[in-house]
Amino acid sequence: MLLYRSAAWFAKGLREYTKTGYESASKDFVPDDLEVQVPGRAFMVTGGNSGIGKATAMEIAKRGGTVHLVCRDHSRAEGARAEIIRESGNQNIFLHIVDLSVPKSIWKFVENFKQEHTLNVLINNAGCMVNKRELTEDGLEKNFATNTLGVYVLTTALIPVLEKEDDPRVITVSSGGMLVQKLNIDDLQSERTAFDGTMVYAQNKRQQVVLTEQWARAHPAIHFSCMHPGWVDTPGVRLSMPGFHARLGARLRSEAQGADTVLWLALAPAATAQPSGCFFQDRKPAPTHLPLARTSSSPAEEEKLVGILEELARRFK
């Protein structure tokens, strides 16, 4: 089954996730959707120092929004912040140093953040694909800690902050790679089978899609969405998937093309006309399962995922 799913997904990717896939999809875009100015609105972009996150932060800054970059490495992040200020002319770019694989640091960060700032839009962009099984200081598998638990803790902590504001939104940068995985709540720490970083990452991205659906149901005042940026030429792909990067080469999307749907979901009035909780690809809701792939999970499994994350988030507060 995994072989079928992977082959069907790769064929779909060659058609839709590449640069030509973007160019073809973009013929249906409404150009005015992103002709907006957003002074007075505040946006948090995790991993905003690199790749899709930096391209997203730059475009928001150019439209006058306040941007909070949440990054783990001070010198890389300071460089990105300076570049965004220089290129956009927007001084309202704040930097927060947080390791999103450490729940305690996230809780502490939000406690301080909410004393001083407001927030309209959270963009959960930071992500990683660590190809060897590594543990965080809390003993959690690193991909899970960053991509799933980190996203869960940051979003949960910020929901009360977002709920106070006008038109609040949460966008999570998932991946079309999640289509090859069925939700698996029995091995969240990847201890039971041979470790495959690509599949662990895809499983985390599936978990993000399930979380987005659950949050949308539980918090109707906020518009939640998740999305696939396409196959994008970023430092992350170069580092974690060198073979894929070399094979796809010039067919990969630019960072700006990868950021397009994130921006549309964060900025466009048209985005919130779509139901909350959907998965998007190139500004349109997209199916969360491949045909005949048997990746659907039950409501009980999905609720159990949230329960486990709730417990872990509490344990590492």
Residues that bind ligand NAP (CB under 6 A): 47, 49-53, 71-73, 76, 99-101, 125-128, 146, 173, 175, 228-229, 231-232, 234-237, 258
Active-site annotation holds for 152? no
CB of 252 to ligand NAP, least distance (A): 7
**Residue among 97, 96, 99, 199 at smallest CA distance from 140:** 99
Please, which residue, 209 or 267, has the CB nearer to ligand NAP?
A: 209
Residue 210 dihedral angles phi and psi, to the nearest 5° = -65, -45
Kindly give, in sequence order, each residue whose CB lies less than 8 Å from that of residue 60, ignoring residues fewer than 6 positions away. 38, 43, 45, 67, 263, 266, 267
CB of 273 to ligand NAP, least distance (A): 25
Name the residue type at position 161.
V
CB of 107 to ligand NAP, least distance (A): 14
Please, which residue, 103 or 229, has the CB nearer to ligand NAP?
A: 229
Please, which residue, 30 or 239, has the CB nearer to ligand NAP?
A: 239
Contact 281/232 with Cβ under 8 angstroms?
A: no
Please, which residue, 119 or 232, has the CB nearer to ligand NAP?
A: 232
Please, which residue, 102 or 271, has the CB nearer to ligand NAP?
A: 102
Contact 294/1 with Cβ under 8 angstroms?
A: yes
Neighbours of 296 (CB within 10 A): 10
- Gyration radius of the chain over CA positions: 18
Cα(278)–Cα(213) distance, integer angstroms: 7
The continuous run of DSSP H or E covering 13 comes out as: helix 2-16
CB of 48 to ligand NAP, least distance (A): 7
76-85 long-range Cβ contacts below 8 angstroms, 24+ apart: 76/49, 76/50, 77/48, 77/49, 79/49, 80/48, 80/49, 80/50, 80/54, 81/49, 83/54, 83/58, 84/54, 84/57, 84/58, 85/61
Residue 152 dihedral angles phi and psi, to the nearest 5° = -60, -50
Out of 17, 22, 152, 201, the active site residue is 201
Residue 64 dihedral angles phi and psi, to the nearest 5° = 90, 5
Please, which residue, 17 or 305, has the CB nearer to ligand NAP?
A: 17
CB of 20 to ligand NAP, least distance (A): 15
CB of 22 to ligand NAP, least distance (A): 12
Q: Which residues participate in catalysis according to the annotation?
A: 201
